[in-house]
């Protein structure tokens, strides 16, 4: 995040001696992205964070592609993804390109047997169903329905779920996830016209400092493979840190919509950005108030981006026969817009209660075999009279 956060105990100056009560040195770690140019955090550990005892297994989890070059619009019925006990095994990649993976997950159990680290991607985990706690090396965050969890690459974490009924929409980004630059000043502060501000962002509030030695399994993801690595010390052994690189949470319910007299384009809904795609939030809002306005979106051609819309809740005024958990894919190169009758139905309406998450990628998305298991392959014909 482009603002400073401190948790726990740290020395007055970085890269200087910081000693335990018994006189031993804490082990300092600089944790950053984009080489030494991006955001970073300095953390202080009970033990050296470098002690790998064994690499016991390596296995491939790359998605299997069903359609590499796709121009067909699809609807995916996301809640048809079957729940699974294991968190990682439950994650099903449905759309992918060289910049990101888009996945659905319905994990039933907390991650008790292992820790997880994604070395390739920042993760955006949207909580559609479920409550619990995200536990990380840099502190913990409670989560609930409607939360975005942003976990920068390389952060070791576990997830504790309160129940077995959990539904997650996940985007793995191979480039860092940032707040939109259109809403930031030169110093990174969110501006007055931003749809959310720093007060809405929840930062880690507690550290789990474990001073334990033994054998600790960390599942490390690198280039679509998982490495089972045994560490000699507990990864959650941080006594303090400060910096700009840490996990955080933002509720979609705290996103304040921007409205106008006539229909405004999707960038007003932008919530996060990367160099390769944007993430937007569609939330309950007042409709356009010009006396001749058509609140439904106009037909438009995604020439430069594939559009993915994950439907969360409410009434989706521009679509017919869409339910919570559905995903629509509208690929670049063809026009799309409101379903037949939707524009007419929207005239005179004063508000919408829709809730949805949109991902627009600048490179085409490939459709996976997991997606085809839950796909409506006739959806592309749903605009016919």
For 17-71, the pLDDT digits (tens) are 999 999 999 999 999 988 888 899 999 999 999 999 999 999 999 999 999 999 9
Instruction: Establish if 25 belongs to a structural domain.
Output: no
Choose the final residue of a domain: 200, 224, 250: 250
Range of the domain at 36: 32-64+82-250
Residue 385 has pLDDT above 90, yes or no: no
What span, in angstroms and rounded, lies between the C-alpha atoms of 239 and 19? 11
Instruction: Establish if 18 belongs to a structural domain.
Output: no
Considering the domain architecture, whether residues 245 and 352 belong to the same structural domain is answered as: no
Average pLDDT score, the chain: 95
Q: Taken in order 298, 303, 305, 311, is the CA torsion positive or negative?
A: positive
Considering the domain architecture, whether residues 149 and 293 belong to the same structural domain is answered as: no
pLDDT tens digits, residue range 276-315? 999 999 999 999 999 999 988 888 887 889 999 999 998 7
Label residue 1 by pLDDT band (50, 70, 90).
low
Considering the domain architecture, whether residues 132 and 185 belong to the same structural domain is answered as: yes
Which SS3 state, helix, strand or coil, does residue 93 take?
Answer: strand
Quickly tell me which residue has 């993801």 as its tokens: 221
Strands 225-233, 213-222: pairing is antiparallel
Considering the domain architecture, whether residues 273 and 125 belong to the same structural domain is answered as: no
Considering the domain architecture, whether residues 178 and 311 belong to the same structural domain is answered as: no
pLDDT tens digits, residue range 165-196? 999 999 999 999 999 999 999 988 999 999 99
- 108 burial via Cβ count (<10 Å: 0-12, 13-18, 19+): middle
Q: Is 35 left (phi over 0), alpha (psi -120 to 50) or beta?
A: left
Q: What angle do CA 59, 110, 229 make, to 5 degrees?
A: 35
Instruction: Establish if 122 belongs to a structural domain.
Output: yes
**Residue 352 per-residue DSSP state:** E
Considering the domain architecture, whether residues 174 and 186 belong to the same structural domain is answered as: yes
Choose the final residue of a domain: 217, 250, 283: 250
Considering the domain architecture, whether residues 207 and 279 belong to the same structural domain is answered as: no
Considering the domain architecture, whether residues 50 and 183 belong to the same structural domain is answered as: yes
Which SS3 state, helix, strand or coil, does residue 30 take?
Answer: strand
Quickly tell me which residue has 């297994």 as its tokens: 57
Instruction: Establish if 6 belongs to a structural domain.
Output: no
Q: How far is CA 238 from the centre of its chain?
A: 25
Q: Please report the pLDDT score of residue 376 as a whole number.
A: 95
The number of C-alpha atoms within 13 Å of 322 and in the hemisphere containing its C-beta is 27
Considering the domain architecture, whether residues 282 and 195 belong to the same structural domain is answered as: no
Q: Are 123 and 150 in contact (CB under 8 A)?
A: yes
Which SS3 state, helix, strand or coil, does residue 263 take?
Answer: coil
The number of C-alpha atoms within 13 Å of 335 and in the hemisphere containing its C-beta is 8
The alpha-helical segments, DSSP class H, found in the chain are 87-90, 342-346, 369-372
Domain count, the chain: 2
The number of C-alpha atoms within 13 Å of 195 and in the hemisphere containing its C-beta is 25
Decide which of 298 and 249 is more confident.
249
Choose the final residue of a domain: 192, 225, 250: 250
Give the chain's length: 385
Considering the domain architecture, whether residues 86 and 234 belong to the same structural domain is answered as: yes
What span, in angstroms and rounded, lies between the C-alpha atoms of 173 and 171? 6
Considering the domain architecture, whether residues 41 and 161 belong to the same structural domain is answered as: yes
Instruction: Establish if 199 belongs to a structural domain.
Output: yes
Q: Are 247 and 80 in contact (CB under 8 A)?
A: no
Q: Are 104 and 84 in contact (CB under 8 A)?
A: no
Considering the domain architecture, whether residues 117 and 161 belong to the same structural domain is answered as: yes
Q: Are 158 and 111 in contact (CB under 8 A)?
A: yes
Instruction: Establish if 239 belongs to a structural domain.
Output: yes
Instruction: Establish if 288 belongs to a structural domain.
Output: yes
Strand partners, 213: 233
Please name which of 90, 95, 94, 118 lies closest in space to residue 105, comparing C-alpha atoms. 90
Q: CB within 8 A of 80, min separation 6: which ones? A: 373, 374
Q: Domain of 311: which CATH number?
A: 2.60.120.10
pLDDT tens digits, residue range 61-99? 999 999 999 999 999 999 999 999 999 999 999 999 999
Instruction: Establish if 27 belongs to a structural domain.
Output: no
Neighbours of 145 (CB within 10 A): 16
């Amino acid at each position: 995040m482009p603002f400073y956060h401190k948790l726990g105990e740290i020395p007055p100056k970085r890269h200087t001696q910081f000693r335990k009560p018994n006189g031993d040195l804490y082990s300092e770690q600089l944790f950053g992205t984009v080489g030494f140019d991006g955001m970073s955090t300095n953390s202080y550990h009970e033990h050296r964070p470098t002690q790998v005892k064994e690499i016991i297994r390596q296995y491939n989890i790359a998605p299997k592609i069903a359609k590499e070059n796709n121009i067909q619009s699809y609807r995916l019925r996301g809640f048809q993804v079957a729940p699974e006990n294991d968190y990682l095994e439950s994650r099903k990649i449905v759309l992918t390109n060289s910049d990101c993976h888009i996945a659905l997950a319905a994990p039933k159990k907390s991650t008790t047997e292992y820790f997880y680290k994604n070395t390739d991607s920042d993760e955006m985990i949207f909580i559609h169903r479920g409550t619990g706690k995200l536990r990380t090396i840099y502190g913990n965050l409670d989560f609930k329905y409607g939360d975005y969890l942003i976990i920068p690459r390389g952060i070791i974490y576990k997830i504790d779920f309160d129940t077995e009924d959990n539904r997650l929409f996940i985007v793995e980004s191979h480039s860092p996830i940032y707040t939109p630059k259109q809403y930031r000043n030169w110093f990174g502060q969110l501006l007055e016209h931003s749809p959310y501000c720093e007060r809405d962002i929840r930062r880690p509030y507690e550290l789990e400092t474990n001073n334990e030695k033994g054998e600790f399994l960390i599942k490390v993801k690198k280039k679509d493979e998982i490495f089972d690595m045994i560490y000699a010390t507990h990864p959650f052994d941080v006594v303090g840190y400060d910096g700009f690189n840490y996990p955080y949470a933002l509720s979609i319910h705290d996103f304040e919509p921007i409205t106008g007299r006539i229909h405004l384009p999707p960038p007003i809904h932008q919530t996060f950005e990367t160099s390769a795609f944007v993430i937007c939030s569609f939330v309950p809002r007042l409709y356009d108030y010009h006396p001749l306005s058509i609140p439904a979106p106009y037909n438009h051609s995604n020439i430069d981006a594939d559009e993915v819309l994950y439907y969360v809740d409410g009434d989706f005024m521009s679509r017919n026969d869409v339910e919570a958990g559905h995903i629509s894919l509208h690929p670049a190169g063809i026009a799309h817009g409101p379903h037949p009758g939707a524009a007419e139905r929207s005239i005179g309406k004063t508000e919408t209660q829709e809730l949805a998450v949109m991902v627009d990628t600048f490179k085409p998305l490939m459709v996976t075999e997991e997606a085809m298991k839950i796909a409506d392959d006739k959806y592309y014909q749903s605009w016919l009279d």
